[in-house]
Amino acid sequence: MEQISLDWQPRRRILSVTELNFEIRSTLAKSFADLWVSGEVSGLKIAPSGHAYFTLKDARSQIRCVCFKSTLRLIKFRPRDGMAALARGRIEVYEARGDYQFLIDWLEPQGAGALQLAFEQLKQKLEAEGLFASDRKRPLPRFPRRIGIVTSPSGAAIRDMLNILDRRHPGLHIRVYPALVQGDGSVQAVTAGIEYFSRTPWADVVIVGRGGGSLEDLWTFNEESVARAIARCAVPVISAVGHETDVTIADFTADLRAATPSAAAELVIAPKLSLCEQVDALRRRAERCAILRLAQASSRVHQQGIHRANVVLHRRIARISLRVDDLENRTREIIRRQVAARKRKLDALDARLRRQDARVKLAEARRRLTATVAASERAIEQSIVAARRRWEALAAGLAQLSPVRILERGYAIVDDGSGSILRQSSQVHVGQDIGVRLWRGRLRGKVIEVQGE
């Protein structure tokens, strides 16, 4: 019977961290290649590179998301925090950190159309910059001779505008810049047409427009580049896009909005017949004014004598009034200078009086007296201290020389009884009374023997 080894172990597969992250990335990329995820945008950050980083979250979970600049440019609206969004993309693993994230290929809002949201966001942005302000709107020329039109040359809008302009005012110079007004390349074409008429000093006014359509069809005129081209245009611009109920960003930016392209043709210039009638009316008014002015001139000639006398008198009075005003001003100036001089003199006297004030001098003397007394007290105190020190030194020296100090060591002073100190034995005799002074106390005695040295 074959014996089985108990120490056998299965072969281990050891992966590096990079290899593990690579396999996780490959697995997730295969399993989660095309997903639609809904959630709330949170923590949105736009990096200097143009990439957008944010988090999609719901009530219980969240996932990191990345939207590259190339994708973000294709999205009509701009995401913001708190927005409910629907994202399409795939799961990617950032191997350097071992993090997984949702790489977004498309993003659209939930609860509102992407185009309508983009419209509102761009409208708010341009309005904040002042592109819709009424004070920057330019008036249209009253009698434009050259009209530029940016639109499709094959649409019904251009035919309607040309028919109306020819009927209302024949002989106008009209130049059409052919442009796509829908689909790919339409934004660049419309922008180029506006910039053409702004760059070449030919047109007096420019009409930009097209016929009606859906929001998607009219979206070219909701693009930021078209709005800014209208705002930069060197000549006034009329926006004529769609039907009367259609509103675009170009309508807010233009100097004048026309409800339809046909309405723009009617607004750009008055009918020629109406202008001729206005010219006739102005001519008749000028004739009436000329007749009235001649009548007024005749009346003035008849009354010139009286009027001349009144004029001369009024001029004389005016000259006298001027003289009086001049004298009054000079008098006021003299009085002002005198008052100023008197005030300066009064201020000088007041300052001098303050310097001579007895209270000031008394206060100064009191201050000096106080300082002198304090200095004297300090000097006396210092003298007393010095005298005390000298006295203490003398007393200490005297104490050292005092005979009493000798008596402390056991010596005695002997006198002859009458107070004279005895210095030698020959000064006394036997039987004589003597006194002895000790360190403490005195003694009385008699001499019983006298000895020599």
Query: Region 353-364: what's the mean pLDDT?
Result: 75
Eight-class DSSP state of 430? T
Contact in structure between 212 and 227 (CB atoms under 8 Å): no
Least confident segment among 174-178, 378-382, 446-450: 446-450
pLDDT tens, residue by residue, 175-198: 999 999 988 899 999 999 999 999
Overall CATH class of domain 17-111: mainly beta
Asked if pLDDT for residue 362 goes beyond 50, the answer is yes
Asked if pLDDT for residue 303 goes beyond 80, the answer is no
Give the chain's mean pLDDT: 83
Look at residue 228 in the predicted model and tell me its pLDDT.
94
Asked if pLDDT for residue 453 goes beyond 80, the answer is no
Query: Region 253-260: what's the mean pLDDT?
Result: 92
Look at residue 199 in the predicted model and tell me its pLDDT.
93
Query: Region 419-424: what's the mean pLDDT?
Result: 81
Question: Amino acid identity, residue 81?
Answer: D
Asked if pLDDT for residue 113 goes beyond 70, the answer is no
Asked if pLDDT for residue 27 goes beyond 80, the answer is no
Asked if pLDDT for residue 1 goes beyond 50, the answer is no
pTM: 0.45
Look at residue 227 in the predicted model and tell me its pLDDT.
94
pLDDT tens, residue by residue, 214-249: 777 888 998 999 999 999 999 999 999 988 878 899
Structural domain 131-269, CATH architecture: 3-Layer(aba) Sandwich (3.40)
Residue 344, token pair as written in the block: 């300066």
Question: Amino acid identity, residue 201?
Answer: P
Alpha-carbon distance of 128 to 125, in angstroms, equals: 5
Asked if pLDDT for residue 272 goes beyond 60, the answer is no
Beta strands at 205-210 and 237-241: parallel, antiparallel or unpaired: parallel
Look at residue 85 in the predicted model and tell me its pLDDT.
84
More confident residue, 301 or 68: 68
Asked if pLDDT for residue 163 goes beyond 50, the answer is yes
Least confident segment among 125-134, 228-237, 258-267, 291-300: 291-300
Residue 3, token pair as written in the block: 């014996």
For the chain, the structural domain boundaries read: 17-111, 131-269, 407-446
Return the exposure string of 346-358: e unless at least 16 CB atoms fall within 10 Å of the residue's CB, then b.
Answer: eeeeeeeeeeeee
**Residue 61 confidence class, pLDDT cut points 50, 70, 90:** confident
Contact in structure between 246 and 218 (CB atoms under 8 Å): yes
- Greatest mean pLDDT among 74-88, 183-197, 285-299, 378-392 lies in 183-197
**What distance separates the 2 farthest-apart alpha carbons in the chain?**
183
